[in-house]
Amino acid sequence: MLNDMLDKEAQELCNAARYERTEGRKDSRAGYYKRKLHSVAGEVELKVPKLRHATFETAIIERYRRKRIFC
């Protein structure tokens, strides 16, 4: 579920879906990097999207934060 949210956020930043060719495209994808996030429910491994020309900074998780408490 979190990975889907990260993909959706990257899609909005690029202004196009993955592999979609449009004139309005702002950037292209460059794969993923793995990130572990510790939560009350246990450890979750995320696949954080990378972009070619822009830095992907997500609103879902902070850049250097490893622990998150879910209520």
In a domain, 31, yes or no: yes
pLDDT, one tens digit per residue, over 40-53 is 888 889 999 988 88
The whole-model pTM stands at 0.71
CA atoms of 7 and 50, how far apart (whole Å): 10
Backbone angles phi, psi at 52, to 5 degrees: -70, -45
Nearest CA to 17 among 33, 29, 4, 6? 29
Provide the pLDDT confidence category of residue 36 given band limits of 50, 70 and 90. confident
Domain of 40? 2-51
In a domain, 15, yes or no: yes
Tell me how many domains the chain contains: 1
In a domain, 69, yes or no: no
